[in-house]
Amino acid sequence: MKLFRKFKRVRIIFQDNRIIEGIILTCDFHMNTIISKSVEYRLSKESKKWEKRNVGICIIRGNSIATISLF
């Protein structure tokens, strides 16, 4: 059963509140995910502002993911 179509834009929120947005390439039954053209957003501890960082291709371990949403 397929839950998503490949090459869709997704937003992944981690358990430590980091966010990665990019194009999903694949995902397995452990929710391990490969994202391309990804951008990471994280909240800076000092300035309390969101920092943006271009990551590119990203391999994400499934147990660190809190939510995945399509947009």
Lowest mean pLDDT among 3-7, 39-43, 60-64: 3-7
What is d(CA 6, CA 52) in angstroms, rounded to the nearest whole number? Answer: 25
16: confidence class by pLDDT, cuts 50, 70, 90: very high
Question: How confident is the model at residue 44, as a pLDDT?
Answer: 87
Q: Which residues are within 8 A (CB) of 29 and not within 5 positions of it... i.e. 6 or more apart?
A: none
More confident: 46 or 11: 11
pTM of the model: 0.84
For residue 46, give the 3-state DSSP assignment. coil
Domain boundaries, the chain: 1-48
1: confidence class by pLDDT, cuts 50, 70, 90: very low
